[in-house]
Structure 1
Amino acid sequence: MYKTRKIKHGVLACICLILLGSLPCCWGRFVVEKNNLRVTSPGSVRGIYECAIGNFGVPQYGGTMLGSVFYPKANQKACNTFQDSDITWKNKPGGIPIFLLADRGDCYFTLKAWNAQNAGAAAILVADDRIEPLITMDTPEETDAQADYLQNISIPSALISKELGERMKKELSKGEMVSINLDWREALPHPDERVEYEFWTNSNDECGPKCESQLTFVRNFKGAAQILEQKGYTQFTPHYITWYCPEAFILSQQCKSQCINHGRYCAPDPEQDFSRGYDGRDVVVQNLRQACFFKVAKENGKPWQWWDYVTDFSIRCPMKEKKYTKQCADLVIQSLGYDVRKIDKCIGDIEADVDNSILKAEQEAQIGNGSRGDVTILPTLVINNRQYRGKLDKGAVLKAICSGFEETTEPAICLTRDMETNECLQNNGGCWQDKAANISACRDTFRGRVCHCPIVQGVKFIGDGYTHCEASGALRCGINNGGCWKGSKDGRTYSACIDDHKNGCKCPPGFRGDGVKECEDIDECKEKTACQCQHCSCRNTWGSYECSCSGNLLYIHEHDTCISKDSNREVSWGIMWVIVLGFALAGVAGYAIYKYRIRRYMDSEIRAIMAQYMPLDNQGDVPNHLPQGSV
């Protein structure tokens, strides 16, 4: 009933489509994703071991977790709750986290993890019950096993070998403390400054809790994904799984209802019922439409708009409301400013007996390459060519993507509140803090807390971050007065803060002290550094002093001396009289000069006139020559 086809690179993809309405089953080269487990004590077990990351819970990608192993005397397979026992592993202040060691068997891996989490365990280690290569602990597929708790598992889980489990149990039975460190720092490679990741998904929204969690993840993760993509930190590609119909059944009604392009690309019936609702071919076409939208958006330089389309389509065009149609999809495409005709051209003729270039490439991409195994389950996230394991949750996935960057090269979004580890909540993480100004050097990151002097309102604090941080720069006095002393009294305010960081904190004139914790008022009167003149009296004030003179004397601060108020007044009037007399003398002198010059001028004019009509005494006789013919 099943038939295989050869796919590129000679890899046989045993992909089958079970007819008669059951789920498709797949076989492929599945890679078990692992992380390191370091046993630090006792010495007989000390070493580094591999453990398989469970496909549920929240692995601490990029970080480590230290804990102590506990193996219960009863309920050793953790298939029952620990509520009826006196056992509790809830971490207390100063206590080391507890890792529950449980045996494999009798119940789902997820149920073991859920019971361990409810009892307060920080992680669960499941010891294999057979000697075999490590496997991936996955969530149950059966419909009756889809309990609500599956999406609420938050502790990391790991499968360890039977041999390691037995060695731990032996040491625990002797009363030894088994301490281990779970290390996920190298669980994902980080070859360069950009993280490449793929999301294998499906447009189907009628596949139970997995579909619901998948759609919830897309909606919640959209903002972070778009920020990372727009700024060039990541390269994202969506993918869709399809199967082909065995050649012997291409003309059957089942294949026709679940496949397009003559059985080349198929998807299971959403409701597992061929007689009602939407068919598998509807899902394939919508998958293809989403892939084509990504192709066109990428050509427009905006690949991140795929997140908008998928999110809007899931909200506006759900299967339950019978809106899972091309007409509804076209409205969403148009609302995002795209030409529907370009999308339709990419989709092509779904009835033609030819390959579809988009879906053919998707099928070839399913086959594993290098360290990445075949993609056989939905949803699957592949980060830097490694399959992500764990809960499909915004915070968990963002942490995994951030761990794909080299440390110190991660983008700012990896250091935001979304990635907090909450280590700063207890004792401020052991970092410096100024409680009065609510300033702390502790910062939560996805790799754990770091002690780093902060930047507050543009003011940079410098120091080691653990015992000391000090504001620096021109605006330092605006933040908690630069960490310097400041005091107010009697309507006066003094500060020891100086904008120049080199001078640090310095008590202002009139005070002495370290300038940080205190500045003490100097009593200038008592120390006789002020008001030392004769007849002076001194009164100390906060930060300064006041001097006064006895009797009818006036104090001159600049010269630290007392002078008579009356003599001062006499001197002032004397000066005034001198000035008045000076002006009077200047007026008389000016008038005399004026009169003298006027008289000289008048005399010279009179002499000139008289010279014209009267001979002068010093003139000689002038001969009288008369003309001829006169008497």
Structure 2
Amino acid sequence: MWSHAYAKIAIAAAFSFVNAAASDLLLKNPLKAAPEYHVSSKLQIQIPKSLYRVEGYDHREALFGVPPYGGSIAEQVYYTDENLCDADIDIRQNDWKSPFILMVDRGECTFVHKVRNAQKAGAAGVLIADNICLCDFASVCKPKNEGDRCEQFEPVMADDGSGSDITIPAFLLFKQDADVIREELLNYNANIVMAEMTWNIPRPDDRVEYKFWTTPTEHISKNFQKSFGDAALRLGDSAVFTPHFFVYDGILNRCHGSNGNACSTMCTNAGRYCAADPDNDLYKGISGSDVVRESLRRICIWKYYGKDKFGEKWWSYTTEFMERCDSPSYFSNNECVNDAYKHSGVDGKKINQCMGDSGGLQGDSVNNLLQKEIAAKDELGVVVVPSVFVNNIAM
């Protein structure tokens, strides 16, 4: 039995391809909020003591950059009133000496742009100050402008698909907390502000839990999917694997409407569930709806054969499908799918029934399994495939 530590190292090494995956971007509203959030870090203001809080400052972690898990960054904080969207603007003051932690306001460009430009300026970490109140904190948060509306959820600090070059960590601060720190930084008669960003080693229990996000036509991770099945079995109880499939919310993307599917062959269920057309031709080859169908099939295979947490037959089917059916001529061919079922030992009748019982793919109906995938994707802020989360931390 592999140890917990070795299992984590093995999984992390196997997923080292993810940072190179930005070119295979599937982007859907990176500022969409998540109803739940997992934080493995702590933010504390060490100086001045008037800003010290026993529990630290609540925040959101960026899903890009390279946090020093098990370590910390303790540096002086500087604030810039530049939006940090222009890489050519020099934001450094004469007395700013690297390394430092930079605070910048949210808005006008993506989180990735801001953090990249902060990194270029010499920052070791970034604190992004939210400028919109959360509705839950309306009683303690002062809007920037009178009459400004609050947000229901704090946005996810998602990767916009270009963040693989960022090596520094970043946090998003709630507005009421950011206002207090910013006020201290703008008080030129005050002492310095020293912050500490600390990261725990993610360990919810004695097992490594890893979630893998992909699509049936995503090419970057295909070699991994073909070869990692044996390693997943050898990890045994030391690791818990869960596959997920990236599906677009057709309602959010206006593919679903009273007149039916507005996005043609990209969607199923009258435009509710969609996928990008892999060959960029809506009228021939593999369609987006074919991708959604195969995604649902693999979700059902995992539902039946993944109860052991490593899913031997799921890996086997995935490999058989890639070897036999992964071409425009056979991707949606029922005979080829049945052949993959047979060679992987998957009960095709059970899987087909699962696909139908979950809501099917025809008509204007909700599919419960696809709906859960969309909810899980939004909760984690997944915008790029392939993506990997180990113990709820983006790799």
TM-score, normalising length: structure 2: 0.62
The one-letter code of the counterpart of 1:193 is D
Q: Distance in 2 between matches of 1:32 and 1:294?
A: 25
CA distance in 2, matches of 1:256, 1:393: 23
Q: What amino acid is the match of 1:78? A: L
Which residue pairs with 1:57 in the alignment? 65
Q: Which amino acid aligns with 1:136?
A: V
* Inter-partner Cα distance in structure 2 for 1:390 and 1:325: 25
Is 1:236 aligned with 2:237? Answer: no
Deviation of residue 111 (structure 1)? 0.5
In structure 2, relative to structure 1, the CA distance for the partners of 1:352 and 1:247 (3 Å cut) is farther
* Alignment check: 8 A CA contact 1:257 1:281 kept: yes
Provide, for residues 44-88 of structure 1, a one-character-per-residue CA deviation record: whole Å limited to 9, x for no partner: 22222111112322344554332321224xx63222226757669
Report the counterpart of residue 289 of structure 2 in structure 1. 281
Q: How does 1:155-234 map to 2 (within 5 A)?
A: 155-172=168-185, 173-174=188-189, 176-185=191-200, 190=204, 192-205=205-218, 215-216=220-221, 219=224, 223=228, 226-227=231-232, 230-234=235-239
Q: Decide whether the 8 Å contact of 1:28 with 1:376 is kept in 2.
A: no
Structure with max Cα Rg: 1
Q: Relative to structure 1, is the Cα distance of residues 317 and 70 closer, same or farther in structure 2, using a 3 angstrom cutoff?
A: farther
- Note the residue ranges of structure 2 that are not aligned, 5 or more in a row: 1-26, 138-153
Cα 1:110–1:351 change in 2 (3 A) is closer
Residue 120 (structure 2) pairs with residue 118 (structure 1): yes
Partner of 2:76: 68
**Is the partner of 1:58 in helix, strand or coil?**
coil
Q: How does 1:145-544 map to 2 (within 5 A)?
A: 149-172=162-185, 173-174=188-189, 176-185=191-200, 190=204, 192-205=205-218, 215-216=220-221, 219=224, 223=228, 226-227=231-232, 230-240=235-245, 258-259=267-268, 266-270=273-277, 274-294=282-302, 298=306, 303=311, 306=314, 310=318, 322=328, 325-326=331-332, 330=336, 339=343, 342=346, 344-348=348-352, 355=359, 362-363=369-370, 365-366=372-373, 374-377=375-378, 387=380, 397-398=389-390, 400=391
* Paired residues of 2:277 and 2:287 also in contact (CA < 8 A): yes
Partner of 1:129: 131
Out of 83, 99, 102, the residue aligned to residue 100 of structure 1 is 102
> What is the Cα deviation at residue 37 of structure 1?
1.0
Is the 1:194–1:233 Cα contact (8 Å) retained in structure 2?
yes
**Alpha-carbon distance in structure 1 between the residues aligned to 2:71 and 2:127:** 17
Q: C-alpha separation between the residues in 1 aligned to 2:83 and 2:211?
A: 36
1:189 shift after superposition: 6.6
- The structure-2 alpha-carbon separation of the partners of 1:223 and 1:64, relative to structure 1 and needing over 3 Å to count, comes to farther
2:49 is aligned to 43
Distance 1:67 1:123 in 2: 9
- In the alignment, is the contact (CA less than 8 A) between 1:78 and 1:116 conserved in 2? yes
Following superposition, the deviation at residue 287 of structure 1 comes to 1.1
Shift of 1:255: 6.8
* Aligned partner of residue 375 in structure 1, secondary structure: helix
Change (3 A) 1:229 1:54: farther
Output the amino acid matched with 1:67.
Answer: E
Is contact 1:78–1:112 with CA below 8 Å preserved after alignment? yes
Structure 1 residues 253-302: Cα deviation after superposition (integer angstroms, max 9, x where no partner): 9677632xx65973235267633543222112221343355456548996
Distance 1:353 1:302, change over 3 A: closer
Residue equivalent to 2:12? none
Q: Secondary structure at the match of 2:51?
A: coil
Q: 1:28 to 1:317 in 2, by over 3 A?
A: farther
Q: Which string of whole-angstrom CA distances, capped at 9 and with x for unpartnered residues, describes residues 155-192 of structure 1?
A: 21111133433433443433622221223328x672x3
Q: How many residues align?
A: 334
In 2: Cα distance, 1:82 partner to 1:157 partner: 21
Q: Does 1:109 align with 2:111?
A: yes
| Alignment check: 8 A CA contact 2:60 2:171 kept | yes
Could you say if the C-alpha distance between residues 224 and 167 of structure 1 is closer, same or farther in structure 2, counting changes exceeding 3 Å?
A: farther
Distance 1:354 1:168 in 2: 49
Task: Please report the RMSD computed on the Cα atoms of aligned residues, expressed in angstroms.
Answer: 5.1
Q: Where does the alignment leave 5 or more consecutive residues of structure 1 unmatched?
A: 1-22, 92-96, 141-145, 206-211, 368-373, 381-386, 405-418, 420-631
Could you tell me which residue of structure 2 aligns to residue 81 of structure 1? 87
Partner Cα distance (1:376, 1:204) in 2: 18
- The 3 A distance-change label for structure 1 pair 82 and 311 is farther
**Is the CA contact 2:71–2:200 (under 8 Å) kept in the aligned structure 1?**
yes
Question: 1:208 aligns to what?
Answer: none
Shift in CA distance, 349/52, structure 1 to aligned 2, threshold 3 Å? closer
- TM-score for both structures, normalised by structure 1: 0.42
Q: Give the equivalent residue in structure 1 for 2:147.
A: none
Cα distance change on mapping 1:311 and 1:77 into 2, 3 Å: farther
* Shift of residue 117, structure 1, vs aligned partner: 1.7
Deviation at 1:364, TM superposition (A): 6.1
Are the structure 2 counterparts of residues 391 and 152 from structure 1 closer, same or farther at C-alpha, using a change threshold of 3 Å?
farther
How far the C-alpha of 1:112 sits from its partner, in A, is 0.6
1:71 aligns to what SS in structure 2? strand
